Structures are given as C-alpha cells and as structure tokens.
Chain A
Amino acid sequence: MNRAFLSVENLSVNFPTSDGIVRATSDLSYTLERGQTLGIVGESGSGKSVSSSAILGLHRNTNAQVSGSIWFGGTDLLALSDDEMRERRGKEVAMIFQDPLSALHPYYRVGDQISEAHLAHNRVSKRAARARTIQMLARVGIPQPDRRVDDYPHQFSGGMRQRVMIAMALINDPVLLIADEPTTALDVTVQAQILDLLQDLQQEFDTALVMITHDLGVIAEIADDVLVMYAGRAVEYGSARALLSQPAMPYTWGLIQSIPDVSRSVDLPLRPIPGNPPSLLNQPAGCSFYARCEYSKFVEHNRCATELPELSPVSLGNLKRCHLKEELSVYDAQLAVVETGAH
C-alpha cells in the first residue's frame, strides 16, 4: 500500500484515572506529505496536543494507553521499542512547544542545550556541534549568534527564545516538525515573524509541518490541510481553503462565527457557541457536540444524541463527522426563518 509520508491511523490515547478513563483522543486518522503543512485546530481538551505527543512517543512509560498506528518512514512508530523511538526523536521527528521560557532549562546555556540535541544523535566533537549550533542560531535570525550562544534562556526576549527552540528542533534536519502552539504566548508582530520563519524553513528543507493551534487565523495563513478536533475526535478534515470558506460541520462553523475578525462588521454581536466543552471522562453516546449544536434538530430520529457519526465525505472533498445531509447554508436559511418568525 502506498502510504503517505506520515499516516496516522485510528490513533487513540486514553488515560486511566481514579475517576474513570479519560479518552483524550479517539480514533484519529490523518496523512501528511513532505513540504506540506497540516493545521490541527481545537480548543483546550480537544486532544490536539495529546495526539501529537503520541507521534513523538512521549506517552511511553506513562500510564497512557495508546492504540492505533503511526506510519512514518515505513515503520509504525507505536510498534517500535523505546530505544528505537528515542533514536528518531529529535532527529527525524522534532517538536517545538508553546512556552519557550519554561520549555528551556533555566540552568544551562542555550548553546549547550542546542548542542546537546545535536550530540545526542550525531557522533561529532563538541566543537563541531557548537559551530553547527551557531550556524543554526544565525539561520533562525538571532543577531550576534556567536555571542548569544553562551547566554541563558532568561536573557532572551519571548520571540528570540522561540527562535532558539526552533533552532534546537531543526538542528538535526528533521523531516517532520510538530509545532504545538508555538506562537500563542507571543505578541502578534513577533508571531508574524515566527510564522514567516517556519514557512521559509519549511520551503528550504521540504519539512512536513504539523501546526497545532487554537487560532483559526494562523491556520488560514499557513496550513494546506486542516484537521478540526473536538472532544478528542476529528470532526472535520480537508483542504484549508475549502474548509474555511465552506465549513461543513457545525462546530467549525461556530468557531469561525465566534471569532471577531478584523474585517467583519462590528454591529452584529459575536455568535458564540453556547455551553461548555464536554468532559472527556464520561463521553455521551452520540455526537459529542450535540449539546451545543443548533443544527441537531434537522436530523431525523434524534440520531445526534444516540449515534456517533462517522467521518463522511463532503462535496469539496473534505470529511466531516456529522449526521447532517445537506450543506450548512441550507439549514441556515431555515434557522433564520425560525429566529425571525417570518413565514
């Protein structure tokens, strides 16, 4: 079978707790090719970080139960031994995290931390590793890299620190890079710089990029494909342009509606999604979005409450996890009629 560069198949991650099993991720599948960017969108508790940590094997030796398969470079990462996975971690697959201040060790110089990542996977001298580190720091846009290589993390500004993290992740030329909310803690102008940097680097090295974020704007800017997650499941998946211009799943549509976009009129109040995100402990039998969905009334026999929808194709080639048969715009017309009471 001709698999994609990265193919996640039916990935599930459960955490047994004293209150029950927390199903952080259920039955997740997606693919990614080199040079492409997949944006994973979701709010807190959606499972986006948990599922991506599974790709790096960060759940090994914890009490997490991981099932499914992650095909990468011809092997199922979940079937590898701990040592085999560790060899790939930080080398072929790398990850950058959200808060660079807490993600870097406060006691060690940044140069040492970056060189450490290089030395862990390459048999070179310390001097060679240091030279490469300085090169990488320059590449990510840190001024005076030969001096700043001996600075400590707290001596950098937020944007510079994130660049350091990117340098550390890329030091071994990974072919797959996972970025977990890399710009959430940064100012918007710095965020723009970092996103530009990531895109430049991706073009240069043909890296596959998984960008995890809650910011649809960021997704719109840089993602080729989008995966929308809710309560641990993929609820919509497909090309970014199609998904964002014509979302098929009510949650995606609700997200877009609730974001005050700089270009939209302000006179209309924002349309938030009512209610709260669901608990991952006792998941309802039917669709997890049912309690907050205003379109569920258009589904016959109340299927939304009892039956979990499968991922089904939509006209533009995307997938949605929803029982609705038509496009949302069809139902919108009916909703408007109901709201205004007009006939």
Chain B
Amino acid sequence: MIAFAIRRILVGIVLLLAMVLVVFVLFFAAGNPARDVCGKYCTPEKLANITQVYGYDKPITYQFGQFVQGLAVGRDYPVDDKYREALKKSNPSLVIHCDAPCLGYSLRSAITVNDAIAKYAPVTISIAIYAFIVWIVFGVLFGVIAAVFKGKWLDRVIVGVTLVVYALPTFFVGTFLLQFIAIRWKLFPYPRYVTIADGGVLNWVIGLTLPAMTLALFYMAAYVRITRAFVLESLSEDYIRTARAKGLTERVVLFKHGLRAALTPLLSMAGLDFAALLAGAVITEAVFSYQGLGLLAVTSNRNSDLPILIGLVIVAGAAVLVANIIVDILYALVDPRVRLS
C-alpha cells in the first residue's frame, strides 16, 4: 500500500515537471513574450526594461532552469545577473526576492504571482468547497432515490428536472439568482464576499451561497444521473442477489452492499471535478463580481500579464494532478482488488 502511494507520488512529481515544461514551451517558444507583456502602449524603453527584468532574451533552457529553480528554492528578479547586482547597489528596493515555490513575478502589478494567487484564492476555494458539498450530498441523494424508484414517476420527475437544469448555462443560472432571487424578489441578501475574520462564519456562508449554488446546480444535475447509473449497475450485480439470499434487510442490501460499490467510482470522479473547480469558475465569479482566481485569469489575460497567467495554469494543472493522486490512493484503500493482487 505504502509502496503504491509512494510510486504514485513520484510519478506525480515527474508529471508536474512535464506539465511545467509544456506550459513553458506553449508560452515562450512561440511568439515574443516580451512584446506580449509590453501590451498595447509599448515603448522601446518599456520593452527593454521588461526584457531585462524577466530575462526574455536569455536562451530558453536557461529560462526554464531558472523557473524550476524558482519552484524549488526561490529566485530573484531582475533575471539578468549583472543588471541585478548593479541594481542592488544603486536601487535595492527594485530587486525582488521571490520565495519558493516561485511561480513568477508580475511587473505590471508589482506583485509576485504567489501573492496574487494567495490574494484571490480564498474566494475560489470557498466557493468550490461549498458547491462540492452541496452537489455531492444532493446529487447522490436524488440519484439513489431515482435508482431505487426506477421506472416510477418519482424517478422520471427527477431525471427530467436534472436534464433541464443541466441544460441551463451557468451565466443564466447565476444571473437569475443574482437579479431575481437576490435583487428583485429579495429572497436572499445581496451576495457580497465576507471573510470569516470580518463577518464571522455565518455571514461568510451567506455571502458564498448564491455563487456556490450556481455551480452546484449544474454538477448536481450531472451527478444525479451518474449516481443513478452507478447504483443501478451495482444493484444488478450477483453479490446483491447473494446478499438478499442471506436474508438481509433491503436497507442493508442497498446501503452496505450496493451503495458502497457504487460510490467508490463516483467519489473518484467527484475528486477530479472538484480539482478542476479550483482553477476558478470564471463565469460564476464574473456574474457575481467575486474576486476569485477565475476573475484574476480574465483580467490578467486582458492585461497580457503573462507571468500571472502562467502561474494560474500551473496551479490549476497541479490541483488536478494532486487530486488524481489522492483519488488513486483512496480507490486503492477502498477496493481490495486494487491494492492486493
């Protein structure tokens, strides 16, 4: 078991490095990064400054090496060694040290990418966790009900409703919740993000509810269907017939024997979906004007703030990788056939 986990983690690290490489190649190999970062109103002086600070004129392998070094132990900006040493003496405040794992530095916003992400992450993570809990609980609940009552009207209603909800675009649901539920009909207080430190846990939850619901509804619809399918498949297995033949009550048969087998693959999927959400739900955050990673990505893109974009891509990819590893390990924990063969 331990060996299995260690092996998965090692492979994960290798994959992470490979991913960074791919991102790097995508962003740097094609095109002129200095020019992109410079933006619309570019002057030669600005361009020169950018090149010096970021070291875009250095060979690609050097840049990649510096980046990995930054991830491992931290790095300094400006990238050019000679220039940096000179600047240390003349104007030390312009020399930036970026701690490990350094994802980059944004000249435009004068902030390290790590700090930028740290500033915007709490909103995204909170919404993601909240949405996750809601969609898992209710998605599985209604999925199980639909499976148990398969063919009856309850099942048909649930399946029909989920289809409609799944088809609704996120911006529609979000806007509807904001404009109608919150503003026009005043069924819910106007959504505003409040940190726990400022307003306490209750206000924090209230502030997150509407955007979380926007996301949750979509995933819930999908998970009702998936749960229903998994449960139905699990209930048609031979070991369910054996469980009944032993004289166990229907409740035990359903929950202990049926659900356990159905939920395992389900939670694996859910883990990956959750990780994808950590990259930021762009549309939802935009609709509610919540300062999350999604919004950060949009503004960085508009401003051609390359370093932040790179950092976001890496963080998003890493989240999925880590989720993958955790899910694999959890699966091995639950299914003895995987860990003992």
Contacts and interface: CB of A to CB of B under 8 A. Distances in A.
A2 to B, nearest CB: 29
B30 interface: no
Tell me whether chain B's interface is mostly helix, strand or loop, or mixed.
helix
Interface residues of B, number: 24
Given A152-B337, A155-B340, A116 B239 contact: no
A173 to B, nearest CB: 13
Contacts of A106: 239, 261, 335-337
Contacts of B335: 106-107
Contacts of A107: 260-261, 264, 334-336
B337 A95 contact: no
Nearest to B244: A58
B276 to A, nearest CB: 28
A61 to B, nearest CB: 8
A168 B334 CA distance: 23
Contacts of B243: 105
Nearest to A165: B242
A267 to B, nearest CB: 42
Interface in B229-262: 237-239, 241-250, 252, 257, 260-261
Contact of B238 (A102, A117, A121): A102
Interface string A78-115: 00000000111111001101010011111100000000
A120 interface: yes
B244 A97 contact: no
Interface string A140-178: 000000000000101100000000010010000000000
Given A152-B337, A155-B340, A103 B247 contact: no
A95 B241 CA distance: 10
A41 interface: no
The bracket for how many chain A residues form the interface is: 20 to 34
Contacts, number: 71
Contacts of B252: 120
Given A87-B247, A120-B248, A154 B336 contact: yes
B248 A154 contact: no
A27 B279 CA distance: 65
B340 to A, nearest CB: 7
B250 to A, nearest CB: 8
A106 B340 CA distance: 12
Given A56-B245, A104-B242, 17 more contacts: A58-B241, A86-B248, A88-B247, A89-B247, A97-B238, A102-B238, A104-B239, A106-B337, A117-B246, A120-B246, A120-B247, A152-B337, A152-B340, A154-B336, A154-B340, A165-B242, A168-B246
21 contacts: A58-B241, A86-B248, A88-B247, A90-B245, A90-B248, A97-B241, A97-B242, A102-B238, A103-B239, A104-B242, A105-B239, A105-B242, A105-B261, A106-B239, A120-B246, A120-B252, A152-B336, A152-B337, A154-B336, A154-B340, A155-B340
Interface of A: 56, 58, 61, 86-91, 94-95, 97, 99, 102-107, 116-117, 120-121, 152, 154-155, 165, 168
